[in-house]
Amino acid sequence: MRNRYEEQLRLLNKELTEMGALCEESIDSAVKYLTENKPEMKQNAEECEKQIDRMERDIESLCMRLLMHEQPLAADFRLITAALKMISDMERIGDHAEDIVEIGGYIAQTDMQLRAHISEMAQSAVKMLTTSIDSYIRQDTQLAQSVIAMDDTVDEHFIRLKKQLIAYICIEKENAESVLDLLMIAKYFERIGDHAENIAEWVIYAITGQHKT
């Protein structure tokens, strides 16, 4: 019985890692679609989002089976509870990546320099996500803490970009709608950073039993 339980826990870790990789791929596709305007990247981001939704349901079912039938020890209970929280944040990341590609098609003619700033912000958000997933795989609280610290960088990117976009609207009023679309995309990347921070906080909880309130 214990062997079966440990096998299911290993499956949980494997599926969480795969779901995290799908989130990374969805964001990468969204960024490439945004900066390179490649139609296939839009399709790839949308397909990733569908797979992320399926994985969320599968992992949720696995977690519920573990909680209801296996009577997990305290450390395992924290791990399973954290997994349920993490997949919710991952699902939202997939949604935001799809939101970004939906808007991205409308800003093809927007100033390339402004889109480059978005790309910088996206890279910071992706780094937060990849590091938060890595911290889970390694069970490394210091790595998770570094993700929390990175959120300030993403927030600073957003504040700086917002100021640049407002200044740009004042000069190029005819492009105001596209600039507002860019601002919305920047907000989605900020939210991706927030979700990555949440994942890191749940990793810390799974390891230590302590969660930021």
pLDDT in tens, 141-199: 999 999 999 999 999 989 988 888 888 778 777 777 777 888 899 999 999 999 999 99
Q: Are 59 and 19 in contact (CB under 8 A)?
A: yes
At 128-137, the pLDDT tens digits run 999 998 998 8
Q: What CA–CA distance (Å, rounded) separates 138 from 130?
A: 12
Q: Would you say residue 104 has pLDDT above 70?
A: yes
- For 84-112, b/e burial (b = at least 16 CB within 10 A) is ebbbbbbbbbbbbbbbbbebbeebeebbe
* The total number of structural domains that make up the chain: 1
Q: Are 10 and 79 in contact (CB under 8 A)?
A: no
In a domain, 213, yes or no: no
For residue 87, give both structure tokens. Answer: 């997949």
Report the alpha-carbon angle 195-201-203, nearest 5: 105
Q: What is the pLDDT of residue 170?
A: 80
In a domain, 51, yes or no: yes
Q: What is the CATH number of the domain that holds 102?
A: 1.20.58.220
What is the domain range of residue 55? 2-208
The count of other CB atoms within 10 Å of the CB of residue 183 is: 18
Q: How far is CA 149 from the centre of its chain?
A: 16
Report the alpha-carbon angle 189-92-186, nearest 5: 15
In the chain, at which residue ranges do the beta strands (DSSP E only) sit?
A: none
